[in-house]
Amino acid sequence: MLTSRQRIIKRAAKEIKDGMNVNLGIGMPTLLANEIPDTIDVFLHSENGLLGIGPYPYEGEEDPDLINAGKETVTARSGASFFDNAESFAMIRGGHIDLAILGGMEVSEQGDLANWMIPGKMVKGMGGAMDLVQGARKVVVIMDHVNKHGETKVRKECTLPLTGMQVVNRLITDRAVFDFTKEGMILTEIIGEHTVDEIRACTEATFTVADHLVKEGVRR
């Protein structure tokens, strides 16, 4: 049986298409590097200066100088490029990142994202998320549907400091997939064995249900 995190990662991997430049945010999104099939050609971007991230290295083969934005050791695929931080952010701000997959603390029904800090807790900085949500051509957020206290993270309005307003194109949780359109927030897929009523019960945000709702999602 898949864990909730595995269900999220496997569903999110379907967002990555051949030929894309993709930025994977710190945390759960970095796990997607090991889920990309060999049949597609994708360049993974890290805002600290690497385009062409490969899978995580095997134990004992780590290069301490080769890291992603989360300071995890990574590998570089054939054809990878290294550059300074300023050039990396020029790629983001210039609209050259096809897809950004980011973690989230809260997402609102308007597509607002909060993912960079919790008041009262120490943070090292806002990272590149604020640039990514504005510069990437598509923003997909992945997160658990509820927090460890059982409270929904899919809210009418975010209660945490915002990373960006109306920037999320798609939200993937361990229970559902939502799209954000001019018509509002739409439930397009159910992941696992949940029902629409169960999704409504754990979601504060108001949403409509797609006419062609995908109910199987990622199987357990």
Task: Average the pLDDT over 6-33 and give the result.
Answer: 94
pLDDT reported for residue 216:
65
pLDDT reported for residue 219:
46
pLDDT reported for residue 182:
95
Using H for helix, E for strand and C for coil, what is the string for 137-203? CCEEEECCCECCCCCECEECCCCCCCCECCCCCEEECCCEEEEEECCEEEEEEECCCCCHHHHHHCC
pLDDT(166) > 90 = yes
Residue range 4-214 forms a domain whose CATH class is: alpha beta
Query: Mind telling me the catalytic residues?
Result: 47
**Percent of the chain residues past pLDDT 90, beyond the cut:** 82
pLDDT(193) > 90 = no
pLDDT tens, residue by residue, 66-124: 998 888 999 999 999 999 999 999 999 999 999 999 999 999 999 999 999 988 887 77
The model's pTM is 0.94
pLDDT reported for residue 218:
53
pLDDT(217) > 90 = no
Sequence-ordered alpha helix ranges (H) in 14-143? 85-93, 129-135
